[in-house]
A and B are shown apart, each in its own frame.
Chain A
Amino acid sequence: MNEIELTLCSCRTISQGLFMEYHGKYSREYVIDLSTVRLSLADAQKLGVKDGDVVEVEGPTGRRVKLLVKIDPNVPEGVAYVPYGHVINMIVPSETEACATPNYKQVRVRVRRLSTDSVDVEKLVEEYVNENFLKSVPGVGDRPVTDGELRVVRDVVCPFCGLLCDNIIVKLSGNRIVDVQEACVIGRAKFVTYHKERVLKPLKRTESGKFVEIDLERAIEETVDLLSKSKYPLLYGWSCTTCEAIRLGLKIAELVGGVVDNTSSVCHGPTLMAVAETGHSDFTLGFTMHYADMVLVWGWNPAHAHSNFMYRFVNRVGKLGYGRKHRKVVVIDIRNTSPARPGDIDIKKCTGCDLCTEFCPEVIKKVTSAKTGKIKLQLTLYLVDFQKCRECGLCIDICPTRAIQLVRDVDEILVVEPGKDYELLTAIRMCLRDLEIEKSKIAGIPREKVLELCDELRRSKYVVLFFGVGLTHSHGKFKNIEEAIKLIHDLNEHTKAIIIAMRGHFNVTGANMVFLWTYGAPFGIDLSKRYPRYIPGVTSAVDILRRRETDFMLVAGADPACSFPREAVEHMRDIPVVLLTPKLCRTMEYADIVIPVALTGIEVEGTAYRLDAIPIRLRKIVDPPEGVLSDEKILEMIYEKLRKVLKK
């Protein structure tokens, strides 16, 4: 067969996150990972493709994208997996079904095999990397770092994901970060490469399309000019910056009567809408280690999305002395994903390439003698410290010869058919109320399994349901979450039950919090009438861009060109875009003015909210590069200037 129909799910992978931080968004490694579609063996055979072949994927709107094939045994038949990013977003439809969030998952696509001679893989990758653009940007490069006095900073907060691990140990030599402990692989990469691919000078796009350096004052003046002339500006981002900066962003939006939106409109927006419908029952994560005896993981892969999670909360021993052995971990997802730790290393296959130790030096150590290390797995070459293993499975993923064996440490994995989470949730609720289920299979899971799960839930003393965008991005959106919350409310009649959303960006929760206390709504706020209006699907970023309503865009603390569907991003090319960014990012391709900012959490401090809404103060460990200010300062300058201009 040359063509089959599959269900496309875009998802997060650990390698994607790692390469983004370690190599950068314009690196070959990152882009190759983004443009690889994971297929089941059965589907690959149907298509007649093998690893490294190229297929063409056609989305529901007729847009097409060429992707490389990787056969993944964990993917069920009928599903195609692609990591989130600008490549797959070329075909993701921008329709949001009045929920502000496009369907990143469960999109019906047609996958076509392309003959190998008709595609030049090298060219394809080059096109996706867009190296031509890179050449046209001056003032981008590594920030100069100099070795110097050795120092160790403890209790640093990692500004990457919503977990905000605040026990990181950073070793510095001068202002170069040489080692990071207690962080996951992505967090470590973020620290170690903080100086790479930085934007150091304000840039302006000329009419020929090339960037030229300008001074900061002029960049701000032009931004203010654009803002004050704009009729319906959109201020987007706010999830990778401090709450102090977000407050100023809101002030600016109010002043110019624009729309202000944060990244939760494309991730957990539906969760927030569900909370407005039903409330919720949540907690702060520390209780997991103290009390939880049943951990349900739904539509979220802790290993890939929040790698430190299992290590910090589930495996840790709490106040009552309960550790991992006392907890049952059940994973419910549409593919066979779960925390995975390395098992034996096959000596015959291992080539000693050191890739695993390069990314994970804290856990996997290369030794010449067998004296060091705690548990000896591979006497001759590598030692794995299991007590510190985060179970992210990166070493298994990236091992070129697949020499590391995979061990899953979860008690049960239930694989749901795509788009049927709502059905399963309803079935569990019915079981809890002792209603009879007639179907023998619910969402692809045998009835007996569901009954068994329900019994266990009832018997457990402390149930925690962690869920991710697996529920919010699929069909049903906020209705899925609503049902999940109702399930937890129902369970609370029998035992103690908790549900919590696992948020992505490090301060996306903070953005929601600031939006809420200032304007009473969590995202997508329209201030064009000088009072806040919150209508998801109307006043949310993707919809405004898709309908081509806005005439100016300011982006701070996000990379929408990477995360929005291409249909929405295309409008950004037609309007002036001002971007505040510390590093090279994909939105720069669409930006007209780029203002460099310091890296929040490494070069400047401020407040951020952990995913369970605990406010944590980010710390500064090195000085920002000369002439580069924080988001807060830049926004303050814009605000003050804007006020003066508008008063006139």
Chain B
Amino acid sequence: MILVLKNACVVDPLQGIDCELMDICIDVSLGRVVPCDRIPTKGNVKIIDLEGRLTMAGGIDIHAHVAGPKINIARLMRPEDHYRTNIPAGDTYRASCGVTTQTVIRTGHRYAQLGYTLVCEAASPPLKTRHTHEELDDMPIVDKLVYILMDSTWLGLDYIVEGEIEKLAAYVSWLLKATKGYTIKLVDPGADIAWFYGNGIGLDIDDQIPEYGLTPREIIAAYCKVAQLLNLPHGVHIHTNKLGIPGNYRTLLETFRTGEASSFQDRLVMHVTHVQFSGYKGDCWYNIEPASEEIVKELEKSPHVSIDLGQVTFGNTTTMTADAPFEFVLYHLSKWKAVLHDIEAETATGIVPYTYRKSSYVNCVQWAIGLEIALMLRRDDLWRIVLSTDHPNAGPFTRYPLIISWLMSRKAREELLKKLNQRAVRKMILPSIDRELDFYDIAVITRAAPARILGLQEERGTLKPGAIADVAVYDIKPRELDPSKEPDKVRKALSRAWLLIKSGHVVVKEGKIVQEISGETLYVDAKVREDLYKEVVNEIKKKFKTYYSVTYKSFYIKSYEIHKLKNITVVSKIT
């Protein structure tokens, strides 16, 4: 069957289309967009008239903690997050609950309602990635992929100490295959090794890590090289050292430079995530200031680095990260409850509930950083930034439309600025920024840029013929509405998609879930030289017996365990 979306007001930056009225044709059985010139006029054709509504490709969330061991313990720890948010089951959808620690079903529903069709689980410890995949399998509608935590894995660090970059590459290739992961995730590199001894708070990029004698910079450089050697579609995904600690912007800039120094190809090698948390000037909480200007300048000089914002929104949330030492600090700031969890030979994690307050000086400074970076960057450089809240750390992803309304309207920002801590407002550049993003820019930072950064721009983030038919239609007409003057309308329209098509199936109609389908899970199969791979696997098997309390067989996730698995095969430089 062919589905024709007539009179769509299309915004598709990957094709350079900006608010043009056109038709989009979808082959439902293939689940792909097809050219409209060859559509038969008779037969099995269904036409939906969009009457000039805003139409974009399905959104991509490049960094969110939506499934896995961490979020599941957070669900256990936060029953108060569930009590008042119950959604009863309907005829077409299942029951769900939660705001910051949502059940997987709710996560799938809410992403679909926002018009998002691909979500990247930000951090999964290798040993428990089977759990992450089990949850993702239960998440309806959206497609998904998983980043694998590698910064403190003993097996990996051993190779870095030995200086065996090729073997490290083979290990990464094995690990991605064994856990069905997408790319390398580094979280506060090396800090978890120190955390196993109860230390590691504020570990900087050139500090030494106990046991191994390495510095985080060496770890970052090694993995950046590996990502290039393996031709991974998405570069190393980094959460910087000293995250959340005043004065950490220098560490962030050094991380950018490390990425630049270790790049030997003309492509993105490094994605620094939730950059807002690493953009603080000052030396204590009292005199913390936004460092957005320095970050923007350095980013313009670093063409191989991409970022996502980690924009703070006000309200209650649950912070969770593999940066356990920092969560320990945060526990002392909030003094309520905390989960700390260590995973053998690999990583650690922490979960602390937290509330961002408009009256708090620090929280207001944090709020400004993300917006300032997005608004101060040149238009070309917007292709290297992605909208995110590091869900749920800086706020749940359901607040994306709110952030978009701030980015698109100075009026919206000014209204909020009046209510904020005024000492913080005086430190911001934001009040002096006139710039307002348009729908094209928004489509860049929510669709085109993440698709390109993930290396999926051929199939996702665009509506060109041949792409996967993920189409989001919102109930606003860009040709009639001025987002700068009516930010509330934009926010409301983006919160509930008027129509969402996932792989050719209509799943959301006027904001309601009409069908629950299951999405696919993407993973990277990076091929390396056969003999090297075998040698490394043998070494891993030997070390497994000392390092882990499970067997090699229990660790390896077989393809049939995952519901709808799709591999992306890349041929590495090590052949």
Contact = CB atoms under 8 A, between A and B. Distances in A.
Interface in B539-566: 546-554, 558, 561
B551 A167 contact: yes
Contact of B72 (A285, A318, A517, A529): A517
Interface in B31-70: 67, 69
B458 interface: no
Contact of A532 (B97, B337, B338): B97
A378 interface: no
Interface stretch (B126-134, B164-172, B218-226): B126-134
A367 interface: no
B477 interface: no
A530 B91 CA distance: 11
Q: Which of B135, B196, B342, B558 has the most CB of A within 10 A?
A: B342
Contacts of A492: 198, 328, 340
Contacts of A616: 130, 550, 554
Interface stretch (B6-14, B76-84, B289-297, B303-311): B76-84
Nearest to A288: B549
B105 A279 contact: no
A228 interface: no
Given A166-B554, A287-B196, A527-B95, A319 B86 contact: no
Q: Which of A287, A521, A532, A616 has the most CB of B within 10 A?
A: A532
A516 B553 contact: no
Contacts of B553: 155, 166
A527 B104 CA distance: 17
Contacts of A281: 338-341
Interface residues of B, number: 60
Contact of B76 (A289, A291, A516, A527): A516
B101 interface: yes
Contacts of B138: 247, 517-518
Interface stretch (A47-55, A356-364, A607-615): A607-615
A230 B534 CA distance: 58
A398 interface: no
A290 B344 CA distance: 9
A287 B342 contact: yes
Contact of A495 (B79, B102, B198): B198
Contact of A513 (B82, B97, B131): B131
Contacts of A521: 79, 82
Contacts of A645: none
Interface string A591-621: 0000000000000000101100111110000
A267 to B, nearest CB: 16
A75 interface: no
A537 to B, nearest CB: 14
Interface string A260-281: 0000000000001001111111
Given A496-B197, A518-B138, A519-B97, A282 B341 contact: yes
A531 B131 contact: no
A279 B339 contact: yes
A247 B104 CA distance: 13
Contacts of A254: 89, 94-95
Q: Summarize B's interface: helix, strand, loop or mixed.
A: mixed
Given A282-B341, A531-B88, A615 B131 contact: yes
Q: Which of B86, B339, B341 has the most CB of A within 10 A?
A: B341
A617 B554 contact: yes
A280 B339 contact: yes
A607 B549 CA distance: 17
Given A318-B546, A613-B131, A517 B344 contact: no
B339 A157 contact: no
Interface string B86-116: 1111000011111001111100000000000
Interface in A242-266: 243, 247, 251, 254
Contacts of A290: 344-345
Of the four ranges (under 10, 10 to 19, 20 to 34, 35 or more), the interface on chain A belongs to 35 or more
Interface string B182-213: 00000000000000111000000000000000
A243 B341 CA distance: 22
A284 interface: yes
Nearest to B87: A531
A220 B37 CA distance: 53
Contact of B550 (A247, A519, A614): A614
Given A531-B86, A615-B134, A285 B549 contact: yes
A444 interface: no
A522 B343 CA distance: 21
Contacts of B197: 291, 461-462, 496
A400 interface: no
A12 interface: no
A500 B76 CA distance: 15
A514 B561 CA distance: 16
Nearest to B133: A615
A286 B342 CA distance: 10
A534 interface: yes
Contacts of A520: 75, 79, 81-82, 97-98, 101-103
Interface in B337-394: 337-345, 351-352
B341 A312 contact: no
Interface in A541-584: none
B154 interface: yes
A283 interface: yes
Contacts of A82: none
Interface of A: 155, 157, 166-167, 243, 247, 251, 254, 272, 275-287, 289-291, 312-313, 318-319, 461-462, 489, 492, 495-496, 498, 512-514, 516-522, 527, 529-534, 607, 609-610, 613-617
Given A287-B342, A489-B331, A610-B550, 8 more contacts: A251-B94, A276-B76, A277-B337, A283-B342, A286-B547, A492-B340, A517-B138, A527-B95
Closest 4 CB pairs of A and B: A286-B344, A286-B549, A496-B198, A531-B86
